Amino acid sequence: MNKWFTLAEYDHAAYGDAVDIIRRGCVLRVPSVSPPDPAWYPDPVMGFIVVQAMPFGAEPYGVSGLLVASGHQAGLMHVIFPKESLPKGYVYGLSTAWLIANWKKWVYPWGSAESVLIREPRSILRMPAVKSPRWKTSSQQNRSRTRSNWRTLTTYGSDVIRRGCILRVPSVPPPEQEWDDAVGCLTWYPDPVVDFIVVDAESFEGRSGLLVASGHKSGLVLVVFPKESVLQGAGGLSTAWLIANWKKWVYPWGSAESVLVREPETILRMPVTRSQRRS
């Protein structure tokens, strides 16, 4: 299910009347109030991913948080919810009813839960087209549009990958000698293509990490990189280090040459919602 729903519609459309849970990996889109609120974000619309918050220092295990997934502050945690946010009878997840009732207190004091849209994690079926290497010479008029396109990691053109950037990685069959018979292909991910967002793992001395942003394991942290991954003087993830250590730290069977990267995107408008009365 990759359609957008209001929070009030979501439970019935996704799971039926008996379930009150927003699972990790769901995406929320939140419009800013008008005029823009300086204490919020400067973007017209904000995207958030529901994440399992343990790697970010949360207690107890299983509580959820919202990670910023768009705009200038993409890759930062927005909020980690309290234990009371857990759905009744669950040790993980986020209660839809609790989120609606506590939206102004915990997420956005000036916004309304009625204006929020939500969708399930999306599986990616194919890799996108790659931008031309001539993007650096494009005119200033076209630069903002051009920057939203994908580039290969090995020709990224920047020494540092900043938080909020998206890495898109195609899956490959693990070689037979590396196959784990206990879990099969799930030694990686079952999806044809997996997106990761570069996050600022504040609990880990300023180092970066990768959080899964699509598919079956969306909302989980894949890896927190070591201190050596930080580009000195830039305070971000070293592109050269990531390329050199791709197989060791990210994907043993994949290749850095096949990875695509793009900058964080600004969302300009809300998507169209899907009616509860689906055909």
pLDDT tens figures, 93-133: 999 999 999 999 999 999 999 999 999 999 998 898 886 55
Q: Please, which pLDDT band fits residue 45 given cuts at 50, 70 and 90?
A: very high
**What are the angstrom distances between the C-alpha of 110 and each of 40, 41, 43, 103, 117?**
9, 12, 15, 10, 16
Of the candidates 204, 201, 207, 214, the one whose C-alpha atom is nearest the C-alpha of residue 260 is 214
| Distance of alpha carbon 6 from alpha carbon 271, whole angstroms | 11
Element (H, E) at 13: helix 7-14
Q: What is the mean pLDDT of residues 193-203?
A: 85
Q: Measured between alpha carbons, how far is 219 from 124 in angstroms, rounded to an integer?
A: 15
**Residue 275: what pLDDT?**
55
Segment 39-67 shows an average pLDDT of 82
- 99: its two tokens: 């989120």
Nearest Cα to 217, choosing from 47, 51, 29, 19? 51
pLDDT at 145: 39
The pLDDT value given to residue 29: 97
208: nearest Cα among 250, 265, 150: 250
The DSSP string of 63-87 is -EEEEE-SSTTTTSEEEE--GGGSP
Residue 260 corresponds to which tokens in the numbers above? 């695509």
Residue 128 and residue 273: Cα distance in Å, rounded? 25
What is the distance between the alpha carbons of residues 105 and 123, in angstroms, rounded to a whole number? Answer: 32
Percentage of residues of the chain with pLDDT beyond 90: 54
74: region left, alpha or beta (phi > 0 left; psi from -120 to 50 alpha): beta
Checking if the pLDDT of 9 tops 90, the result is: no
Greatest Cα-to-Cα distance within the chain, rounded to the nearest angstrom = 59
Instruction: Name the one residue in this structure whose structure tokens are 């959080």.
Output: 211
Taking residues 72-91, report their average pLDDT.
90
Is 31's pLDDT higher than 50? yes
Main-chain phi, psi angles of 135, to 5 degrees: -60, -30
pLDDT bucket at 211, cuts 50 / 70 / 90: very high
- Rounded mean pLDDT of 175-197? 70
